[in-house]
A = this chain, B = another copy of it.
Amino acid sequence: MDTTTDLPRVLEQLWGIEGRQRPGPKPAFHISDIARAAITLADSGGLAAVSMSKVAAALGFTTMSLYRYVDAKDDLYVVMLDHAFGEPPVLEQATWRERITAWAEAFRDAMVRHPWILQVPVFEPPLSPNQLAWMEQGLRAFEDTALAPGERVSSMLLVNIYVRGAVQITADMQSRSAEEAREADRLYNARLRLLADPERFPAIVAGLVDPGGHDDEGDPSEFIFGLDSVLDGIQARIDRKAEKP
């Protein structure tokens, strides 16, 4: 009946579930050491720079020693994500809109700090402590609204999805320097101008090739602008609820 044992080893470690006192040598380090080493590699070289052997070498251990802490490469990603996000912000603003905005900005900041997060393949919903804590805070932002628990989940996920997507599009796609990112943008525009025939793709030419009103997409206010649209949508749902109880 020991239902804890069927948890992946990584989750046991992250949640600090002690595998009780046991014979055998003491572990030489902790998964948080693995997380730090892997994150350092990923921050400077993208997710592709993270391999079991490189992480192990950075720690001064052999490759296979990592498998005592992590069952597979995917579990390494779990540890990295949990460590990279850290603890969520405490939201003490007055309105739900201010709270979820602060949450979204903190979320965005974490992804900008660690662009490789966007490259991590997602296989299942999060179960690690910090990730759950972020979810909890995001849900609590809607505490004083009329939304039902399930609707709060949808709304939180909506914001979550938006931030992820917005960062994906806005920031340099991979972990490039600012200069490289600008060059990539220039090249993209040149190619778009070359390929997008105004007859076949008039809307694209009008919207992307010709800068039009506001020119740049990297504009940080663009993030808030899009977020406000998302929040307006949630607001509409709240309003509708208020009308018909």
Contact = CB atoms under 8 A, between A and B. Distances in A.
B168 A165 contact: no
Interface string A190-226: 0110111000111110111011111000000010011
Interface centre among A7, A184, A206, A231 (most CB of B within 10 A): A206
A174 interface: yes
Nearest to A156: B207
Interface in A147-195: 148-150, 152-155, 157-158, 160-162, 164-166, 168-169, 173-174, 184, 188, 191-192, 194-195
* Copies of this chain assembled into the complex: 2
A61 interface: no
Given A124-B184, A124-B188, A150 B207 contact: yes
A165 B154 CA distance: 12
Contacts of A150: 207, 211-214
Interface of A: 3-4, 7, 11, 15, 118-119, 121-125, 127, 129, 132-133, 135-136, 139-140, 143, 148-150, 152-155, 157-158, 160-162, 164-166, 168-169, 173-174, 184, 188, 191-192, 194-196, 200-204, 206-208, 210-214, 222, 225-226, 228-237
A22 B7 CA distance: 61
B191 A7 contact: yes
Contacts of A213: 148-150
